[in-house]
């Protein structure tokens, strides 16, 4: 799976200001813009995205590994679902196709994702 525009999903924890793009303010004006969402290129962008993903996946019962923080697991009866996140890409595996489909549906409702296939 690939999360499209992943870094734009993150909420900023602190106030971040930036200069407006060239041409968006009058000459001689000294103004800045306060960001409400994360942008690509910010130092905080990847951390904000990861925090957002962790929060979302843990709300549906996934546990984050203490050995590898990008590994999430969920056990439901005989079903074992494993999600491995790498920046904005993820690998999902399960011994139950229905659980994979449910997880993909949930992730699609939270983020814009693209299924890259098996």
Residues in Cβ contact with 59 at an 8 Å cutoff, skipping those fewer than 6 apart:
none
pLDDT higher than threshold 70 for residue 12: no
Beta bridge partners of 84: 71, 91
pLDDT value at position 67?
94
pLDDT digits (tens, 9 = 90+) for 47-93: 777 888 899 999 999 999 999 999 999 999 899 999 999 888 889 99
Given pLDDT bands bounded at 50, 70 and 90, which one contains residue 23?
Answer: confident
Range of the domain at 7: 2-114
Across the range 17-30, mean pLDDT stands at 74
CA–CA separation, 32 vs 77, rounded Å?
53
Torsion angle in degrees (nearest 10) through CA of 81, 86, 91, 93: -20
φ/ψ of 83, rounded to 5, equals -125, 125
The CB density around residue 3, as the number of other CB atoms within 10 Å, is 21
Neighbours of 54 (CB within 10 A): 16
Quote the number of domains for the chain: 1
- Distance (Å, whole) CA 38 – CA 7: 6
The pLDDT score that the predictor gives to residue 6 is 64
pLDDT surpasses 70 at 96: yes
Distance of CA 92 to the CA centre of its chain: 15
- Answer with the residue of higher pLDDT: 96 or 31: 96
């Amino acid at each position: 799976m690939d999360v499209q525009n992943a870094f734009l999903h993150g909420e900023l924890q602190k106030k971040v200001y930036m200069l407006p793009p060239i041409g968006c303010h009058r000459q001689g004006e000294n103004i800045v813009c306060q960001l409400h969402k994360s942008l690509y290129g910010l130092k905080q962008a990847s951390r904000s995205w990861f925090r957002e993903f962790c929060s979302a996946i843990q709300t549906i019962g996934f546990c984050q590994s203490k050995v590898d923080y990008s590994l999430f697991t969920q056990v439901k009866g005989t079903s074992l679902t494993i999600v491995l996140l790498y920046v904005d890409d993820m690998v999902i595996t399960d011994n139950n196709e229905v659980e994979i489909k449910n997880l993909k549906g949930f992730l699609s409702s939270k983020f814009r994702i693209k299924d890259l296939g098996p």
